[in-house]
Structure 1
Amino acid sequence: MNYLNDLAADIEGWKRDGRYRTIKVWESGSDTWMNLNGRKILQMSSNNYLGLTHHPKLKQAAIAAIEKYGVGSGSVRTITGTLDIHEQLELELAAFKGTEAALVFQSGFTTNQGALSSILGADDVVISDELNHASIIDGIRLTKASRRIFAHKDMNQLEAVLKETQKHRKRVVVTDGVFSMDGDIAPLPEIVQLAEAYDAIVYVDDAHASGVLGKNGKGSTDHFGLHGRVHIQIGTLSKAIGAVGGYVAGAQLLKEHLIHTARPFLFSTSQPPAVAATCLAAIQVLRDSGDLVTKLWENANGFRSELKGLGFDTGASETPIIPIIIGDPALTMRFSDRLLEEGVFAQGIVYPTVAMDKGRVRLIVTAQHTSEDLAFALNSLQKVGREFGLL
């Protein structure tokens, strides 16, 4: 049997459904305007929320770290791969998040895989919001724990599941802080209240809340004033922080346990020192100034209001993630392609990432977008939206 025939059949099916996509190869670094095939394109799909990828303090920190440490760490963290710059980053992250400790992983995805597979055993149950990120879903699949799903942000259903699962040793309620496809915020105060009432653990993935929600971008726990009541906070260093990596923030005992059990931590080479230094500089930039976060929210709220005024369906968005709901996968991808012709990159997102009838173009507004940038995007969206009968 030639396995490639099966792969080719899958690809042909995606093409028939209009869901096939090619990877865009950009000719410049992450920024508001980027080069694609010799053209300047307005970037409206980047996770570079605060524009830190080009911040001079971050670049200087990376260059200095390369000069001091070289380009790689040479080993996993538990052998010779923990340099003093890694320890400094974890101390700074813990202070920034208001927790006892923090542990850095190579990516946000591996952070969820490592943490969930470590803290959950066969006698436990994990209770997960139905729209949680793929990394959470995959992390749960690696465990032998029982699994329960509650409807998106449905607190009545969550309480019912908590009541039904009291026989389990540990119950861990898992939620995104900001949901990546819809841009809505988890009802964290209500989740915490229920977890406290039923003696459950609260686990929050703040990938899209890191650097976005809370004072100076400290995340959803700070946003809601829940310090000391959220047991496990997951953060990313790959989005608003401007580099790459992820981390767990929580108790010192949790950190020590993960060091001994989290397989991505144990079996992957640690962050290059330049990356760790970059992340450390980014946290210091956030700690010292909230101007970038303020600008991010001014841009996002104004842009979303303009889109709604034009008649676009932006779903449940309440953050800088702003989807335009279109529905049909093929139509969604054609809409995205047409926007690109107008000079705006807005990624079409279709099944299986979202439901078959919930295709959308996902826009992400950043602190670096100027009023002129956003006006250009709005004009292009209005033009293409009318062509497609969306307005």
Structure 2
Amino acid sequence: MTQTCQLHRRIEQKLEDRRQNNLHRQVYAFAHQHGSLLDEQGQKYINFSSNDYLGLASEPRLVQAWQEGLSRYSAGSTASPLVTGYSKPHAELESALSDWLGFEQAILFSSGFAANQAVLFSLLEKNDVLIQDKLNHASLMEAGMLSDAKMLRFPHNDVERLNAMLAANHTSSARFVVTEGVFSMDGDLAPLTAIKSRCEQANAWLMVDDAHGVGVLGEEGRGSCDFAGIKPDILIVTFGKAFGMMGAAVLCSKAVHDYLTQFARHYVYSTAMPPAQAHALLHALNSLRTDSWRREKLAELSNAFHEELSGISGVIETMTPIKPVVIGDVVKMQTISASLRELGYWAGAIRPPTVPVNTARLRATLSVNHRVEQVRKFASSVRTLLEMEDV
């Protein structure tokens, strides 16, 4: 009973600490309507916090494809891939991804979080060194801390520091470098050409998590690596952003594919994604490749956003749909976020520990579902609120 009471007190104390520091998070229930949100009270907001960059989540052809998949293949896979959960739609999707991205094989996972952790937990051993960009996603950092390998972190996009770490650990049995292609909180790109060159010189493997780059950058939306003109040893693509759905895939060699099939516990012991979902994802991939107008419209929206906020401190100019406005103070950020909601806009209000202390920010994201005039009015509202706070 004493231990139970201690646990209860610990829970309450940690929650209260979050509230006192203005870091307490909340979950809201929404209905999604083509770029807008409806809350439970019927209030409508223009959605500037979605990762549905290409607008495929509400694409009628994709909805129809999923309905078609349900009719053909039923609701669930019913088993893990190595039992009876792997089916024709899974094989077709893996083949199409491999062909599109130029890898020998692809292997599907339920989420990007699972894919990242599966690779690091499976491949790395005690005498290996894992070197990660300091701003990598939480799934990568957690896997690195819990893996058997020694983990090092280099300052964000600092290629020279990465090179020094590779040199200092040249006697390790294996060196494994991991970076994101597009960083989710800053919207900036990794210097992949330089990182790949350093890895080749050091005989180290490179893995790129391209959750926010695939579909948006590169020829046919092939992502950050195609845009940079490099091919990593392992590429992670996720389906919860530009694809408009959910899930992920690891792109790799035949040998790594076979290895993950044998040893990746996230794959071996998880129920396979529904075949209807794989069927719909194949249709999403086809739209993503052929609908170049979607990427062209994102570029137009991006230009409009930055034109309206030109000269405003804290606005990070990016070529991706992720548009951070770094405010710093959490309370000030929350005040501006609340004011935007009163104006009918919903933008990401990001605070520590998701971002470093004193870098609380609005994380606005653009989508094909937006109109240019909507983006301009939103950006103008952000400018006005920032200027009012600075008075």
Is 2:179 the partner of 1:175? yes
Matched with 2:28 is 24
Alignment of 1:317-336 (within 5 A): 317-336=318-337
Question: How far, CA to CA, are the matches of 2:47 and 2:24 in structure 1?
Answer: 21
- Counterpart contact for 2:69–2:276, Cα < 8 Å: yes
Partner SS state of residue 15, structure 1: helix
Do the aligned residues in 2 keep the contact of 1:19 with 1:333 (CA within 8 Å)?
Answer: no
Please name the residue that 2:223 is paired with.
219
1:102 equivalenced with 2:136 (yes/no): no
> Aligned-pair distance for 1:192?
0.6
CA contact (8 A) 2:306 2:317 kept: no
Cα pair 2:299 2:319 within 8 Å, conserved: no
Deviations 1:192-225 (A, max 9, x none): 1111111111110001111111112111111112
Matched-pair identity in %: 35
Aligned match of 2:37: 34
Q: How does 1:366-381 map to 2 (within 5 A)?
A: 366-381=367-382
Please list, as runs of the form range in 1=range in 2, the aligned pairs for 1:142-221 lying within 5 A after superposition: 142-221=146-225
Q: Which residue of 1 aligns with 2:239?
A: 237
Tell me how far 1:19 sits from its aligned partner.
Answer: 1.4
Name the CA distance, whole Å, in 1 between partners of 2:240 and 2:96.
17
Structure 1 gap ranges (5+): none
CA–CA distance in structure 1, aligned partners of residues 254 and 300 of structure 2: 37
Matching residue's letter, 1:194? R
In 2, are the aligned partners of 1:19 and 1:330 still within 8 Å (CA)? no
- Measured after TM superposition, the shift of residue 307 of structure 1 is 1.7
**Counterparts of 1:31 and 1:45 in 2: how far apart (Å)?**
13
What runs of 5+ residues in structure 2 fail to find an aligned partner? none
Partner of 1:387: 388
Aligned partners of 1:159 and 1:242: how far apart in 2? 36
| Separation in structure 2 between the aligned mates of residue 318 and residue 372 of structure 1, nearest angstrom | 19
Map of 2:264 onto structure 1: 262
Q: Specify the SS of the correspondent of 1:19.
A: coil
Once the two structures are TM-superposed, the CA of residue 312 in structure 1 deviates from its matched residue by 4.1
| CA distance in 2 between partners of 1:166 and 1:31 (Å) | 51
Deviates most, 359-368 or 31-40: 31-40
The residue matched to 1:315 in structure 2 has which SS? Answer: coil
**Equivalent position of 1:305 in the other structure:** 307
Q: Aligned pair in 2 of structure 1 residues 334, 7: CA closer, same or farther (>3 Å)?
A: farther
Query: 1:254 Cα shift?
Result: 1.0
Cα deviation, 1:65-121, whole Å, max 9, x if unaligned, reads 111111100000110100100111100111111111111100011000001111111
CA distance in 1: counterparts of 2:183 and 2:342, whole angstroms: 29
C-alpha separation between the residues in 1 aligned to 2:25 and 2:174? 42
Q: What amino acid sits opposite 2:183 in the alignment? A: F
Aligned residue for 1:354? 355
8 Å contact from structure 1 (residues 216, 293) kept in 2: no
TM-fit CA distance, 1:295: 1.2
Q: From 108, 126, 135, give the equivalent of 1:131.
A: 135
How many residues align structurally?
386
Question: Structure 1, residues 199-253: CA drift from partner, whole Å, max 9, x if none?
Answer: 1111100011111111121111111121xx4111001011110010011112111
CA distance in 2, matches of 1:302, 1:123: 50
Q: In structure 2, do the counterparts of structure 1 residues 30 and 267 end up closer, same or farther at CA, with 3 Å as the change threshold?
A: farther
Deviation at 1:21, TM superposition (A): 2.7
Supply the distance in 1 between the matched residues of 2:306 and 2:103 (Cα, whole angstroms). 34
Code of the aligned partner of 2:259: H
SS at 1:80's partner residue?
A: helix
Q: CA offsets per residue over residues 266-292 of structure 1, 9 Å max, x none?
A: 111111122111211111112223111
- Evaluate the alpha carbon distance shift between residue 164 and residue 218 of structure 1 in structure 2; reply closer, same or farther with a 3 A threshold: same
TM-score normalised to structure 1 length? 0.95
Give the equivalent residue in structure 2 for 1:288: 290
- State the Cα distance separating 1:128 from its structure 2 match: 0.4
Q: Please give the alpha-carbon distance, in whole angstroms, between the structure 1 residues aligned to 2:176 and 2:107.
A: 19
Look up the equivalent residue of 2:341 and give its one-letter code: L
Tell me the TM-score normalised to structure 2 length: 0.95
